Amino acid sequence: MRQCLLLASGFSAASASTLASICSTSNIQNSLPSSSDIDGLIFRDVTAQAVYNSSVEAGNNYPAATGRNFCNVTAAYKHAGKDDAINVWYYFPDPAQYQGRFLATGGGGFAINSGASGLEGGLVYGAVAGCTDGGMGWGGQLNDVVLKANGSLDYDIINNFGYLSIHEMTEIGKTMSKNIYNSSKLYSYYQGCSEGGRDGWSQVQRYSDQFDGAVVGAPAFRQSHQQPNHDWPQIYEQSISYAPNSCALEKIVNETVNACDALDGKVDGVVARSDLCKLNWHPENVIGKSYACAASTAFNPITGGAGATTPAANGTVNANDVAVFLAVQNGPYDSKNRHLYVGFQPGTDTSSNAAGTYSNKTGSYEIAAITDIGAEWITELLQEVNSTSLSLDGVTVDTLRGWMIEGMQKYAGTLNTVWTDLQEFSEAGGKIIHYHGEADNSIPTLSSVIYQEQVRRVMYPDLSYEDSLEKLHEFYRLYIVPGAAHCSPSAENGPFPQTVLGSMIEWVENEVVPVQLNATVLQGPEEGNAEKICTFPYRPMWSGNTTEHKCVMPEKDALDTWFPVLDSIPLNSYGNA
């Protein structure tokens, strides 16, 4: 699979073709895999439409592009012997713009795809790009279809979502690419963030020679812990009978950023050394400080108009506000004071997770209802009940612990497996770029750090820390993105790896190792500035008036903050999970 063909000015094997000649329903049908290519798939309902002079707006994961021509293709298939229907969707570039690449994409939340926004990234890099609906229908999500009419789990859908459909979409797309462009040479890549990041890991763990390179952002790969962890703020608030308002939490966050901003040697509104912040800043310092926020009205996505109104807030930060903030930052501890799971890095906005809901009836803030993915994981995936809200009656941190253990056991091998031996993928020549925002408030940054540490220890148990990192970095690099939120840039001056797929292509096709990952400031006063992101565990440090940082190895006490001891669940957190 790993055949090298760098094409600077178009893919030569396709140069005699035109978009019109490849983009017909009959040609697309003829390009589909045969039973000898992929056994057990029965195809139907193929469509093809040529699109000319399309523009791609810049996104977080790719720059803008204009003048793109492509064939918009959809196809449906079923598995022999099953009454199912899976849809796949591809953009096939104009042969003159095709660069001999295939790009698989994933989803977010309980969705297995990101729609056209994922496919457009392929057009920027001259790649065929594909996505799948996993049998859930376009716009469908796992929680919509995971329960059958009789209330039992649909394990075919779970397997599709867990790993199978991305794999089949990739193999179908790669075969079609070779047939349409009349060439056996093809680079294959994956790109996704959040659930899309987990989608990518599901592939490199199982199919070692499927991709030349995988770009995985903020992966939600430890579902048994990640999804119930969304419920921890409300569980803690119930235990102390207190819910803070968002203004108080924002005050604590702002004070944290102000106190820790300069610890990286540069004052720019970005906490790029959250490890040093943990050692040098204590949120208790905010107790007694005043806050004030104007009234606000939320957007109602159902009506398209105004939603609930939150009144103006004025007051002083109290000990309970800080206690909630620290509970979210540190993560849950069980009733025996054992660390259950990780929390968020200093400087992360906790208001969206932990703020109470204002009640016009009582004139006070109440613990927010648990809904969306944190509730649905418990009710639908664990309890197998069709409900989108979760009652907190009788729920404690030990209940949370039980949910995590149940999810580990129930979805081992599908949604929860975190294999840490990537030897086969490495030996096949595969490369991994793994990134995670340092201020991610949805998936804790430490979850990615712990995973890479697991990989290092499992693959290189007999090497020193420095030597094992050197070996690991030959094929797998993790980047903690300063100030970045969940799969998105900082609102201020933080960098974001918008051209991360381009960096992966350079690594695979030109052997340009991303010792520091290319990034751009996408928002704030420094918008447009180029910056580099250090390979973890190295962290950025500016000195004097320099415009570029150095990547330094943290001192031991700072380095240790990245590797918490999780001793609540009887499982070695740094072993093979």
Known catalytic residues are 194, 440, 486
Distance between CA atoms of 171 and 102, rounded to whole angstroms? Answer: 10
3-state SS assignment for residue 479: strand
Distance between CA atoms of 100 and 183, rounded to whole angstroms? Answer: 9
Give the HSE-up count for residue 349: Cα atoms under 13 Å, Cβ half-sphere.
Answer: 14
Alpha-carbon distance values, 10 to 16, 19, 99, 298, 569 (Å): 11, 14, 5, 48, 53
Alpha-carbon distance values, 211 to 262, 474, 484 (Å): 40, 16, 27
Residue 316 in tokens: 């002083």
CB 536 within 8 A of CB 547: no
Helix axes 397-410, 232-240, angle to 10 degrees: 160
| Residue 14 φ/ψ, nearest 5 degrees | -105, 5
Handedness of CA 559, 561, 567, 572 (dihedral sign): negative
Distance between CA atoms of 166 and 484, rounded to whole angstroms? Answer: 27
Peptide bond into 301 cis (omega under 30): no
Residues 6+ apart with CB under 8 A from 243: 237, 324, 354, 355, 356, 357, 365, 366, 367, 368
3-state SS assignment for residue 444: coil
Distance between CA atoms of 232 and 324, rounded to whole angstroms? Answer: 10
